[in-house]
Amino acid sequence: MADIQISVIDQQNTQLALSAPDETQVNIAVPGVQGPIGATGTIAGAQDGTAAAPGISFLADTNTGIYRPGADQLAISTGGTGRLFVDASGRVGIGTTLPDVRTHIVGTALTKSWSADANDFLAIESSSSTAVDIRSGSTAGGNIFFSDGDARARGRIEYSHLADELRFGTAGTYARVVFDSSGRVGIGATTVETLLHLRRDSAASVDHLFLQNATGGAGSESRIAFSASTAGYSANRFSYIGATLTGAGQNGHNLVFATNANGAAATEKVRILANGNVGIGTASPGSLLTLNDTGTGLQFTNAASGNFNIGLLAGTGNANAYIFQRANASLLFGTNNTEVGRFDASGRLLVGTISTSAAAKFILQGNTLSGTAGGLAQLQVGSTTPADGDTLGRIDFSDSAGYQGAWILSQRDGGTWTSGSSGPGRLVFSTTANGSANPAPRMTIDSSGRLLIGTSSTIYNSRFTAYTSANENLGSLISAYTGGDAANWGLYIAKYSNDSTTSQKFIGFAINNNTAGNGQINANGASQAAFGTFSDIRLKENVAVLEPQLDNLMQLRPVEFDYKDGSGHQTGFIAQELQQVYPDVVTEQDGYLVVTGYGKNEARLIKALQEAVERIETLEAKVAALEAA
């Protein structure tokens, strides 16, 4: 195609001629065009002009055309107003004489406190609303493509008029994000089913949503807020889930759940620490699950009735905590889907049985080997090598304030302790005396099975040892209080050896803290027993012949009498009378005089002796009379 040439026909009339190869001429009025014509017929120069009178205009429309607003600048005006401007840097402004990007479209200029970036290619500016209108057919789509030198439309924004959906694509993928016709948002999901639908298909675990607060300070939090009311977010009437940084510069997070009451801001209700501890009502749970509540605690509800039957209630301050059964029924405990214990409706703890008529507060039936065997409870020390005297277990008996009236405890009893093969132990029974605050040991069964009362050690390796204190009037009492028991033994002592000689000892007596013997009861031939005394010359000193006793015996008065308390008839002496002759055989007990060493037979023998002496004296008098005659 041949070039069209422009030449000046009449410089005075300011007319140009367009010359084509066929020599056809077209005349255009160009006011203000001046200068010589070049060899090729081009215009050498023209007036700069203005927007109202452009340097290059039209005869019929002189305020529309091209003008030069400044050096190396070009502008187009219509109706006397500048519309399009090209500055010295090649930037194009529409509606502005000072474009600051490659293409700058201005409706009403803004007052800006910032500068444009040199890489911006298009700016649309207005102090009122602005719009870019992409128009397509009702079944077509409008697109904005982002291409590079290797591929077209690597990124895209598309609106589908057919589906009324706005789609965003990246990396050549058609739709990464979809806003559907109902306003629902799909990320990774082209068919959107909820208000926000996130989808990422992967065989491995993936994170579908990541919220980040990158300030990094202690307590920094990222939240998801929830509200179903008409109050907006700014009203702070919402609940939320938040991830809170555990400390400055750390990567650990606590998870916080907060809810809001009517008209109030959200407050924290549940917290999961970075270590997995869960706190309900507390921000610092010290265990896997910590509940801090001043109200109803934890309740388990009956799905049928809607009423809770079992509750857990934590105490406040020094108040008690409770696990309770609201209904008039038992509270059961079990493992492996099997009951192992219960609190019944009467408050009794039953282990191994589901019912009892006993008044006891605790019933233990059976053991782990057999449910029908005897009940087994075990108290144990937290060591496999307890030291001598260490307590293995204790049962206390106390008042409601915890002050013990008695206890039974088990201790290691010397020897060698080897767990599983050797465990020497003793049982100690302690009671609290009147006026005392703590129990004291009263009775011990040692590791050899010996019974010790009032002492922790045995005498002569005996099976039974009883000690009394200085203020006790009676060391031991053996009594039967059953009516008609005259034929029963009050105390029966049996020996294994078949020996009826005096060497067979039954009971020994000692004084001076068991350092001096004081007699015994021993066998005395077949079917006989007798009191024995220690009479060996090796035990004696200051031996002398006993003074005559006949006169003393003659002063005694053997009598018969009845006890005033109705206990019966007896033969013996009057203690006060006997004390005048033999004071060493009379003692005092509970305010009364007691005779020792003189029994019923002694009284009879002394009476008989007195009668014999009287007869002897009568015979001696007769003999003396005969001799004198």
Question: What digits encode the pLDDT tens for the residues 248-286?
Answer: 667 788 999 998 887 788 888 999 999 999 998 888 898
| pLDDT tens-digit readout, 367-416 | 888 888 888 889 999 999 999 999 999 999 999 898 999 999 999 999 99
Query: Phi and psi at residue 225, in whole multiples of 5°?
Result: -100, 150
Q: What are residue 610's DSSP bridge partners?
A: none
| pLDDT value, residue 208 | 81
Helix/strand number for the chain, H first, E second: 3, 42
Question: Which residue in the block uniquely carries the two structure tokens 């979809």?
Answer: 178
Q: Average per-residue pLDDT in the chain?
A: 84
Under a CB-based contact definition with an 8 Å cutoff, are residues 153 and 135 in contact?
no
Position 449 confidence tier, pLDDT thresholds 50, 70, 90:
very high
| CA 477 to mean position of chain CA atoms | 56
Residue 468 confidence (pLDDT) above 90: no
Residue 295 pLDDT = 64
How many Cα atoms within 13 Å fall on the side-chain side of residue 369? 5
What are the domain boundaries of the chain?
221-227+235-292, 334-377, 379-472, 492-535, 548-629
pLDDT at residue 303, as a whole number = 65
| 3-state secondary structure (DSSP) of residue 265 | coil
pLDDT band at 473 (very low <50, low <70, confident <90, very high): low
Nearest to 62 by CA among 30, 89, 35: 30
- Confirm if 186 and 180 have CB atoms less than 8 A apart: yes
Tell me the average pLDDT across 149-168: 92
H-helix or E-strand spanning residue 613: helix 600-628
Res. 25 pLDDT band, cuts 50 70 90: very low
- Residues 325, 305: Cα–Cα separation, whole Å: 15
Q: pLDDT-derived band of residue 216, with 50, 70 and 90 as boundaries?
A: confident
Closest-CA residue to 419 (of 376, 367, 380, 445): 380
Q: What is the pLDDT of residue 351?
A: 92
Residues 6 or more apart in contact with residue 487 via CB below 8 angstroms: none
Residue 1 has pLDDT above 50, yes or no: no
Cβ proximity of 254 and 241 under 8 Å: no
Task: List all residues 6 or more positions away from 539 whose beta carbon is below 8 Å from its beta carbon.
Answer: none
Q: Is residue 144 a contact partner of residue 134, using CB atoms and an 8 Å limit?
A: yes
- Looking at per-residue confidence, does 231 or 61 come out higher? 61
Specify the pLDDT at position 34.
Answer: 46
Position 616: which residue type?
I
Give residue 416's pLDDT.
95
DSSP state string for 63-131 = EEEEE--STT-EEEEETTEEEEEE-TTS-EEES-SS--SSEEEESS----SS---TT--EEEE-SS---
Buried b (16+ CB within 10 A) or exposed e, 357-366: eeeeeebbbe
Model confidence at 39, pLDDT cuts 50, 70, 90, reads very low
Share of the chain above pLDDT 90, in %: 37
Tell me the Cα Rg of the chain. 62
CB-CB contact of 279 with 292 (8 Å): yes
Give the pLDDT of residue 24.
Answer: 42
Neighbours of 54 (CB within 10 A): 28
- Alpha-carbon distance of 410 to 415, in angstroms, equals 15
In a 13 Å sphere around the CA of 367, the CA atoms on its Cβ side amount to 7
484: three-class secondary structure by DSSP: coil
4 has a pLDDT exceeding 90: no
C-alpha dist (Å) from residue 475 to 92, 121, 166, 356, 380:
126, 118, 107, 43, 35
Residue type at position 462: S
- Two tokens at 438? 């703590």
Size of the chain in residues:
629
For 566-604, b/e burial (b = at least 16 CB within 10 A) is eeeeeebbebeebbebbeeebeeeeeeeebeebeeebbe
DSSP state, 229? S
Q: Give the confidence band of 443 by pLDDT, cuts at 50, 70, 90.
A: very high
Predicted confidence at residue 316, as pLDDT, reads 60
* DSSP H stretches of helix in 241-388: none
What's residue 172's pLDDT? 87
Q: What is the pTM of this model?
A: 0.47
Residue 313, C-beta contacts closer than 8 angstroms, at least 6 positions apart:
293, 296, 297, 298, 321, 322, 323, 324
Check residues 277 and 22 and name the one with the higher pLDDT. Answer: 277
Residues β-bridged to residue 589: 592
3-state secondary structure of 331: strand
**In the chain, what is the greatest distance between 2 CA atoms, to the nearest angstrom?**
227
Phi then psi for 207, rounded to 5 degrees?
A: -95, 120
Q: Quote the DSSP letter at residue 273.
A: -
Rounded Cα distance, 116 and 100, in Å: 6
In this prediction, residue 270 carries a pLDDT of 93
Please give the structure tokens belonging to residue 516.
């001096």
Residue 160, pLDDT score: 92
pLDDT tens profile 519-558: 888 988 888 888 888 888 888 899 998 898 889 889 989 9
